Amino acid sequence: MIRNPSPDFSLLDQALLRCSDGYCLYDDGGKLYSSSFSFGDFYPKLKNRIKPGYAYAEFVRDLLELKAIQNLKPVDDVDLWVVEHLAQIDEHKRTYVHHLEDGRYMQFQSTRLSNGYWFFAATDITGSVLQRESVEASKKKFESFAQISSDWFWELDKDLQYAYFSTHNAPLGELGKRKLIGVSRIDHVNESALDNPQCREHNAALAERREVDVVLTWKSTEDADSHVHVQILASPQYDTRGNFTGFLGCAKNVTTEYGLKKQLEFQAAHDELTGLINRRAFSNYLNASLKTRSAQSVLEKSVGELHRTLIFFDLDQFKMINDSAGHLAGDQLLIEVTETFKKVFTNPDDIIARLGGDEFAILSSSDEKRALEQAEELIGHIGEYRFQWDERKFSIGASAGIVLLDHSSSDESVLLSKADAACYSAKMAGRNQAHLYCAQSAFESNQHDELGKLELINESLLHDRFSLYLQPIVATKDTGEIKKFEVLLRLWDADGEMVPPGVVIPVAEKYDRMQHVDLRVVEHSIIAISKFREVGEPVALSVNLSGNTLSNESSLNRIARLVEEHEVEPGTLCFEVTETAAIKSIEKACRFVERLKQLGCQFSLDDFGSGLSSFSYLRSLQVDYLKIDGCFVSNIIEDKPNRAIVTSFNTLAQELGMKTVAEYVENDEIANLLTELEIDYLQGFGVGKPQCMNEWLEFYAGKQKLTGTEKI
């Protein structure tokens, strides 16, 4: 740096200390007195000219001519401009920016010294300029995106007041007109949206600085009777120090989607033909009423008795009209009968449902006496009604069963069964009448017994009171494989008497409990496999599955999870299915078999030969074992045709790569003959009787010895 001792440099020295990027000093005549070495690097095209004595006017003229600064504006009279520019610089600083050729931004601060010299200090501000430009570009990009988007956006400050709001696409008329900047978001929503749980959740989430995901509802400004539904998403924002700075949010008009969702929900809960509640939705209402009854037992002293009555209706002669006049006539009849139901049951709290076919149910808010009167009134109207179709007139009737929901009512299926039983008694008594449920009624004794079995099943499921027995499946050849057993289900009544499976299983299937029973048996069987392995005697267990389970996706997923969670060894778990169960839904059955076989499980087709379609489904199901139905085995010694059938089944199985199991092997003579026929496995009392699973475990653990099992 060149210094002239004559000027007063006290102010200059202070400026130089603050300047880290470059400087230049002009004398009172406007000529360059001195400059930093870096000053010439700012302007490469003028570097050789920047020397002491270089006039400021020449410097400006050269900058313009050579276009050495990107942001320098044209000047008509350079000399006049320089005089005016220098004259504007007094003892107060002036600031301007040069955008250099290499892209840098240099900020110059100019100062007039006491001796009349002009001092220019340069600072590189490229970083801050580029950052500011980036922020501006992002802001413009965001605003452009907001303009073309179907959504609209908003930003709140730390006080939850609007700092930004894009109104171009807002469907709510007032939003586009009001000035929302500075307005509280919560106040605005409280003023504009309908007060409901979603609105309150929105406000709570903002106040608690949580994520927001709700659908708010506004009254439409275009139609007073309609609403606008808006999905709101928002996230709290924090600075680098963790301080809350506000919310960023967006909104979308989902009125159309909301309407479609409501329409789908309606269709899922209502009968398409009559518009009444369907069986599934009615079941939900009935279960909700049962819960209310349970809670009311504590409160009824203060709130009074709450009546709920279930009425089950079955139309008489409906099938005759369907068969003689066609299904279109039957559909029209159901539509017209529905209007009769609505005329009798006018209480808004009464739930009318079509359960399917010609069966209807009402969850009435009346007591038994009033419900009976209403049922009889409806039956009277239906009896007087004449249905006309193609110039023909038909008469129909109806029967009804009524049951009160009391504090002992706990199961929806039991209630429906009771109402169905009462309706059955009304039909048996001559039809066109209504009966109250009575457990002692002679007409209902069978139904009452059935309900008792259902309650036994429910209690067994609730308290895990099932007993599992194992019956050996014995190999005819010593192959060294692990022992096989079939898992058999046993239930015990309150008197300790065993209830035959043939009595319990039909009830479980009728009232949709069989898949729950199956899952419980599968779970216990998988656990038992692990326990047998722990006592040093690995076994393979065969578990029977019902048709309901075989065609149920959730049951499949549950069983697959159990197999994976307990790490069942491949081949130790076999599922037995019957042809009857499989053909309920052959596609679902095949998918069920395929998925569990991928996990290592095996399958057996039970009672093979008893159905009419066994051969047609055999290849589709891809099972590992054929269990030959006992009707062909039990008399195989005397019956030569049965012997030939068993032989052909065995040959077929070998051709398909399957093994055979013969059931109902009752003695040694049958066992020996089946062995000669090269049947692979035998099962029956002649080779091993069923014993409780725990007894088998104790036996193999060496704690006690079973009798009658020497053949095992």
Of 429 and 42, more confident:
42
Kindly report the CATH number assigned to the domain that includes residue 543: 3.20.20.450
579 touches 613 (CB < 8 A): yes
CA distances from 491 to 417, 450, 547, 634 (A): 21, 15, 20, 27
Residue 5 in domain:
no
Assign 706 a pLDDT band (cuts: 50, 70, 90). very low
Confidence of residue 712 (pLDDT cuts 50, 70, 90): very low
Alpha helices (H) along 8-156: 10-18, 39-42, 56-66, 78-88, 126-148
Question: Do 494 and 550 have their domain in common?
Answer: yes
How far is it, in rounded angstroms, from Cα 672 to Cα 682? 10
Is 90 exceeded by the pLDDT of residue 493? Answer: no
For residue 370, what is the domain's CATH number?
A: 3.30.70.270
Domain's final residue, options 260, 294, 323: 260
Tokens describing residue 243: 């301080």
pTM of the model as a whole: 0.45
**pLDDT for 710:** 36
Is 710 a member of any domain?
Answer: no
Whether 135 maps to a domain, the answer reads: no
Answer with the one of 211, 239, 260 that is the final residue of a domain. Answer: 260
For CA atoms 336, 342, 344, 350, the dihedral sign is positive
DSSP H helical segments within 246-303, as ranges? 255-269, 279-303
Start-to-end CA distance of the chain, whole Å, equals 110
Over the stretch 530-543, which tens digit does the pLDDT of each residue have? Answer: 999 988 889 999 99
* 432/464 same-domain check: no
The enclosing domain of 198 has a CATH number of 3.30.450.20
pLDDT in tens, 247-278: 988 888 888 887 787 777 788 888 889 999 99
Same domain, 437 and 467: no
Same domain, 631 and 540: yes
Q: So what's the pLDDT on residue 707?
A: 45
Most confident of the following: 10-14, 177-181, 623-627, 708-712? 623-627
Does one domain contain both 286 and 255? no
Based on the fold, state whether residues 593 and 539 are members of the same structural domain.
yes
Same domain, 178 and 318: no
**pLDDT tens, residue by residue, 633-678:** 988 998 888 899 999 989 988 888 899 999 999 999 999 999 999 9
Instruction: Give me the numbers of helices (H) and strands (E) for the chain, helices first please.
Output: 26, 27
Structural domain boundaries, residue 435: 271-441
Q: Flag whether 705 is in a domain.
A: no
- 690 sits in which H/E element: none
Q: Is residue 344 located within the same domain as residue 374?
A: yes
Instruction: Assess whether 535 and 656 both reside in one domain.
Output: yes
Q: Are residues 521 and 669 in the same domain?
A: yes
Q: Do 154 and 182 belong to one domain?
A: yes
The answer on 605 and 551 residing in a single domain is yes
Sequence-ordered list of residues with C-beta below 8 angstroms from that of 57, at least 6 positions apart, any chain: 30, 78, 79, 82
Q: Which of 197, 257, 189 is nearest to 218 (CA)?
A: 189
Q: Do the Cβ atoms of 24 and 40 come closer than 8 Å?
A: no
Rounded to whole angstroms, how far apart are CA atoms 171 and 258?
A: 15
pLDDT of residue 442: 40
Q: What is the CA radius of gyration of the chain?
A: 45
Single out the residue in 404, 419, 441 at which a domain terminates: 441
**Residues 450, 427: contact at Cβ < 8 Å?**
no
Domain count within the chain = 4
